[in-house]
Amino acid sequence: MSKTIALSLAAVLLASVSGAGIAQSLKDEPIQPIEPAKVTNPGLVELGKKLYFDPRLSKSGFISCNSCHNLSMGGTDNLKTSIGDHWQKGPINAPTVLNSSMNLAQFWDGRAADLKAQAGGPIANPGEMAFTHELAVSVLQSIPGYVAEFKAVFGSDTVDIDQVTKAIAAFEETLVTPNSRFDKWLKGDKTALTAAEAEGYALFKDSGCVACHNGPAVGGNSFQKMGVVEPYTASSPAEGRVAVTKDEADRFNFKVPTLRNVELTYPYFHDGEAATLKQAVNTMGRIQLGKSFSDDENAKIVAFLKTLTGEQPSFPIPILPPSSDTTPRPTPFGM
């Protein structure tokens, strides 16, 4: 056997062993890395991106999807509860759009099965964008730039709400955040976390946080009662999953939020009452796990949570096609 072949064989063997080692260690972890988005229909995604940023989908012409799920701010508005049409105070904290395609359902109570079903909600909600699907479609249908783009993507001359929500959902599916320091660590780069951060992860697992916060999104994959060990008094009127199932057993059950990018998605909980990660970790420990974390433990868990910030979606700001002379004008102040 030549020296070259021998070395190559050795390299292949090493790679297999090391690959298997990583695969094994990944399999043993309750959290899996986020994978980059695969775009199969770039035209659909581009159209959805424009719609996501277009305030003409609101009655006022002022509120877009990006107003409350701001991609400059972790896909949230960083407010306790959102601001809707005429400055109405929303009933609940806006969840992040980042990695939301991994959620088992959408909204805190899971009332939308998927992103497409979710996208139509705020447009027609009188407390949010305060429009109707019919009016939103009539606005888009009057804009030549959109009509051409819908035609190129869907092959049809008429725009409908199904196309609109499909495009927005397709864009939202691209909003994943791979390559966080934690994911690098998961994949084998043991230098990616500091000792304190790794200890924080161990505490996170050992304390039971991973019972609900697991999977690639570190949450988003189950409904759980808020206040298992100790009741939680919310500042929000939201009832949780019972609003959907009408089953009293689901009262105050909420979708477990993703912890990906949690450093960016403050304030926390469905009512936004926890301003900081320190508070959120303390409250969760107490009411969900019956644990009182020491300051040192809390700091380590928070340090770990901050390693979950991944690469934020990066793309040029979309340039929206202008309205035409026949486009219905927004009515921010009365009719």
Contacts with a copy of itself, residue ranges (CB under 8 A): 53-56, 60-62, 67, 70-74, 77-79, 83, 86-87, 89, 263-264, 266-267, 275-278, 312, 314-320, 322-323, 325, 329-330, 332-333
- Residue position matching structure tokens 């486009």: 327
174 near 39, Cβ under 8 Å?
yes
**65 labelled as ligand-binding?**
yes
Alpha-carbon distance 230 to 284, whole Å?
Answer: 10
CB of 242 to a copy of itself, least distance (A): 26
Q: Is 128 a catalytic residue?
A: yes
Nearest CA to 82 out of 240, 312, 284, 236 is that of 236
CB of 259 to a copy of itself, least distance (A): 14
267 prior amide bond cis, ω within 30: yes
How many C-beta neighbours within 10 Å does residue 261 have? 24
**284 labelled as ligand-binding?**
yes
How many C-beta neighbours within 10 Å does residue 2 have? 7
CB of 8 to a copy of itself, least distance (A): 42
**212 labelled as ligand-binding?**
yes
**1 labelled as ligand-binding?**
no
**213 labelled as ligand-binding?**
yes
CB-wise, 242 or 320, nearer to a copy of itself?
A: 320
Burial class of residue 39 in the structure, from the number of CB atoms within 10 Å of its CB (0-12 exposed, 13-18 middle, 19+ buried): middle
Alpha-carbon distance 95 to 275, whole Å?
Answer: 14
Helix (H) or strand (E) holding 225: strand 223-225
Alpha-carbon distance 165 to 84, whole Å?
Answer: 20
Catalytic pick from 29, 46, 128, 248? 128
CB of 73 to a copy of itself, least distance (A): 6
Residue 26 in 3-state DSSP? Answer: helix
**86 labelled as ligand-binding?**
no
Alpha-carbon distance 195 to 303, whole Å?
Answer: 10
CB of 320 to a copy of itself, least distance (A): 5
CB-wise, 61 or 240, nearer to a copy of itself?
A: 61
- Name, in order, each residue with C-beta under 8 angstroms of 241's C-beta and a sequence gap of 6 or more: 109, 110, 223, 247, 250, 251, 253, 254, 255
What are the binding residues? 65, 68-69, 209, 212-213, 284
The catalytic residue positions are 128
Residues making up the annotated binding site for heme c are 65, 68-69, 209, 212-213, 284
